[in-house]
Amino acid sequence: EEQELATLEQKCKELQTYAKEVELKQFAQLPLSKKTAEGLAKANFVEMTDVQRASLPFSLSGKDVLGAAKTGSGKTLAFLIPMLETLYRAKWTQMDGVGALVISPTRELALQIFEVLKKVGKMHTFSAGLLIGGKDLKSEQERVNKMNILVCTPGRLLQHMDQTPDFNCDALQMLILDEADRVLDLGFERDLNAIVANLPRDRQTLLFSATQTKSVRDLARLSLKDPEYVAVHSQA
């Protein structure tokens, strides 16, 4: 495993250059952990879609990414794969707390993301929780501190930040906004600002949506660092 980690680290550093030289088509061409590779294979994911092919060389090498691609183009795996890989390469364990947050505008979409995560992340040992409200807060509060990955809606996440004793995201490695244009919309502005105020600035941030978010103000709010813009118009 030590050997695997050293190799992955090195190959991810070289990935942006490699992607320019070799046409990436399949997940198997990427430097992924055996656990993620196996999760993808078992779910029959072999060929990458365009947005996955265009964004993964950046996200896997640690860059902030703003990805735009239409509905149905495979954005979920474009952010779940680098999320799993980042935590794996950091040897994240249950003791390390919340390492990644995925924020979605609706319960339904959060649930869908969670289902995909259970499938492709099956071989990993991370704990993952779905925080979408509508369930008993108390029972969630007992478990939320043990979670490594949280898939959530803004309101419920903020509720835990405000009300759950000892809950924090101080060690967060990756923040992901799915349907980012909707999450960054006016309706969520106060919640999102309050959430981001509780997150470390030194982290990787991935934003995916159907339309390109280029508002300088939004990018400043999220303290993105030299983000890579990935826009895909066709589908694989």
Binding site for ligand ADP (CB under 6 A): 45, 47-49, 52, 69, 71-77
Residue 164 is given by DSSP the state S
Q: What sign has the CA pseudo-torsion 143, 144, 149, 152? A: positive
- Looking only at residues 148 through 207 of this chain, which bind Mg ion when binding is defined by CB under 5 A? none
For ligand ADP, which is the closer residue by CB, 6 or 28? 28
Run of H or E including 67: strand 65-69
Q: Give the nearest distance from C-beta 121 to Mg ion in angstroms.
A: 17
Shortest reach from residue 145's CB to Mg ion, in Å: 28
Which residue's CB atom is positioned nearest to Mg ion?
75
Buried b (16+ CB within 10 A) or exposed e, 203-219: bbbbbbbeebbeeeebb
Q: Which range binds Mg ion by CB under 5 A, 58-66, 70-78, 138-146, 226-234?
A: 70-78
| In contact, 171 and 98? CB cutoff 8 Å | yes
Smallest separation, CB 73 to ligand ADP (Å): 4
Distance of alpha carbon 5 from alpha carbon 88, whole angstroms? 8
Nearer to Mg ion, 19 or 183 (CB): 183
Contacts with Mg ion in 74-103 (CB under 5 A)?
75
Q: How many CB atoms lie within 10 A of CB 112?
A: 15
**Residue 180: CB minimum distance to ligand ADP, A:** 11
Q: What's the min distance (Å) between Cβ of 35 and ligand ADP?
A: 18
Sign of the alpha-carbon torsion through 193, 196, 202, 204:
negative
Q: In what order do the strands lie in the sheet with 174-178?
A: 128-131, 149-152, 100-103, 174-178, 204-209, 65-69, 228-232
Q: Which is nearer to Mg ion, 75 or 124 (CB)?
A: 75
Q: With CB cut-offs between 5 and 8 Å by kind, which of ligand ADP, Mg ion, none does residue 74 bind?
A: ligand ADP
Q: Which is nearer to ligand ADP, 77 or 158 (CB)?
A: 77
Question: Which CB sits closer to Mg ion, 108 or 162?
Answer: 108
CA angle 215, 179, 40 (to 5 degrees): 130
Q: Which does 47 bind (CB under 5 to 8 A by kind): Mg ion, ligand ADP, none?
A: ligand ADP
Residue owning tokens 């869908």? 112
Residue (52 or 205) nearer to ligand ADP, CB = 52
Residues that bind Mg ion (CB under 5 A): 75
